[in-house]
Structure 1
Amino acid sequence: MNDSVRAGLSPAPEVFGGQWALADVVARLRVARMSWRKRQGRGREPGGRELPSREALAEIVHAVCGALFPMRLGPPDLREESEDFYVGHTLDSALNALLAQVKLELNYQVRHEARERPDLHQRAVHIVQDFAAALPGLRGLLDDDVMAAFHGDPAARSVDEVLLCYPGILAVLHHRLAHQLYQTGAPLLARMIAELAHAQTGIDIHPGARIGRGFFIDHGTGVVIGETAVIGERVRLYQAVTLGAKRFATTEDGSLEKGAPRHPIVEDDVVIYAGATVLGRITIGRGSSIGGNVWLTRSVPPGSHVTQANVQSEVRHD
Structure 2
Amino acid sequence: MPNGQIAIRSEDEAKRPTDILWPRLRREAEEMREAEPALARLASSAVLGQASIEAAMIHRLASRLGGDLSPGLLAQLFAQAMERDGALRRAWRLDLAAVLDRDPAAAAVAEPILHFKGFQGLQAHRFAHRFWREGRRDLALFLADRASEVLQVDIHPAARLGAGVFIDHATGVVIGETAEVGDNVSILQGVLLGANGALRDANGRRHPRIGRGVMIGAGAKILGPVEVGRCSRIGAGSVVTGPVAANTTVAGSPARFLGHSGCAEPARAMDQMVFDVGL
Q: TM-score, normalised by structure 1?
A: 0.57
Q: Establish whether residue 151 from structure 1 lines up as the match of residue 82 from structure 2.
A: no
Q: Is the 1:233–1:268 contact (alpha carbons within 8 Å) kept by the matching residues of 2?
A: yes
Corresponding residue SS for 2:255:
helix
Q: Establish whether residue 212 from structure 1 lines up as the match of residue 166 from structure 2.
A: no
Q: What is the percent sequence identity of the aligned residues?
A: 34
Aligned mates of 1:247, 1:267 — CA distance in 2: 22
Per-residue deviation at 1:227?
Answer: 0.7
Specify the code of the residue in structure 1 equivalent to 2:73: A
Which residue in 2 is equivalent to 1:268? 212
Corresponding residue SS for 1:243:
strand
Long gaps (5+) in structure 2: 9-21, 30-40, 60-71, 259-279
Aligned mates of 2:50, 2:172 — CA distance in 1: 39
- Rate the CA distance shift 1:83–1:270 in 2: closer, same or farther, 3 A: same
Per-residue deviation at 1:159?
Answer: 1.9
Residues 57-90 of structure 1, C-alpha deviation per residue, up to 9 Å, x if partnerless?
Answer: xxxxxx89x6669967998258879728xx6xx9
Give the 5 Å matches for 1:87-126.
94=73
Which residue in 2 is equivalent to 1:228? 178
Per-residue deviation at 1:146?
Answer: 1.0
Aligned mates of 2:116, 2:79 — CA distance in 1: 30
1:137 to 87, 91, 97: 87
Aligned mates of 2:246, 2:170 — CA distance in 1: 25
Corresponding residue SS for 2:107:
coil
Aligned mates of 2:157, 2:249 — CA distance in 1: 29
Higher Cα Rg, which structure: 1
Which residue in 2 is equivalent to 1:295? 239
Residues 256-310 of structure 1, C-alpha deviation per residue, up to 9 Å, x if partnerless?
Answer: xxx9310000000000000100001111000000001111100111101001188
Q: Is the 1:235–1:271 contact (alpha carbons within 8 Å) kept by the matching residues of 2?
A: yes
Residues 188-214 of structure 1, C-alpha deviation per residue, up to 9 Å, x if partnerless?
Answer: 210110111111121101111100000
Q: Which has the higher contact order (CA 8 A, sep 6+)?
A: 2
Number of equivalent positions: 210
Specify the code of the residue in structure 1 equivalent to 2:169: H
1:180 to 130, 140, 150: 130
- Rate the CA distance shift 1:159–1:274 in 2: closer, same or farther, 3 A: same
Which residue in 2 is equivalent to 1:29? none
Aligned mates of 2:206, 2:191 — CA distance in 1: 16
Per-residue deviation at 1:97?
Answer: 7.6
Aligned mates of 1:301, 1:224 — CA distance in 2: 23
> Superposition RMSD on alpha carbons, in Å?
3.7
The structure carrying a bigger strand percent of its residues is 2
Q: Is the 1:147–1:159 contact (alpha carbons within 8 Å) kept by the matching residues of 2?
A: no
- Rate the CA distance shift 1:313–1:159 in 2: closer, same or farther, 3 A: closer
Per-residue deviation at 1:158?
Answer: 1.4
Which residue in 1 is equivalent to 2:115? 165
Aligned mates of 1:295, 1:276 — CA distance in 2: 6
Aligned mates of 2:214, 2:50 — CA distance in 1: 41
Which residue in 2 is equivalent to 1:111? none
Per-residue deviation at 1:313?
Answer: 8.4
- Rate the CA distance shift 1:184–1:247 in 2: closer, same or farther, 3 A: same
Aligned mates of 1:273, 1:153 — CA distance in 2: 14
Q: Is the 2:240–2:254 contact (alpha carbons within 8 Å) kept by the matching residues of 1?
A: no
Q: Is the 1:206–1:227 contact (alpha carbons within 8 Å) kept by the matching residues of 2?
A: yes
Aligned mates of 1:75, 1:309 — CA distance in 2: 45
Aligned mates of 1:279, 1:231 — CA distance in 2: 14
Long gaps (5+) in structure 1: 1-62, 99-127, 251-258
- Rate the CA distance shift 1:190–1:296 in 2: closer, same or farther, 3 A: same
Aligned mates of 2:186, 2:239 — CA distance in 1: 17
Deviates more, 1:154-163 or 1:180-189: 154-163
Which residue in 1 is equivalent to 2:33? none
Per-residue deviation at 1:216?
Answer: 0.5
Q: Establish whether residue 307 from structure 1 lines up as the match of residue 251 from structure 2.
A: yes
Q: TM-score, normalised by structure 2?
A: 0.65
The structure carrying a bigger helix percent of its residues is 1
- Rate the CA distance shift 1:130–1:228 in 2: closer, same or farther, 3 A: farther
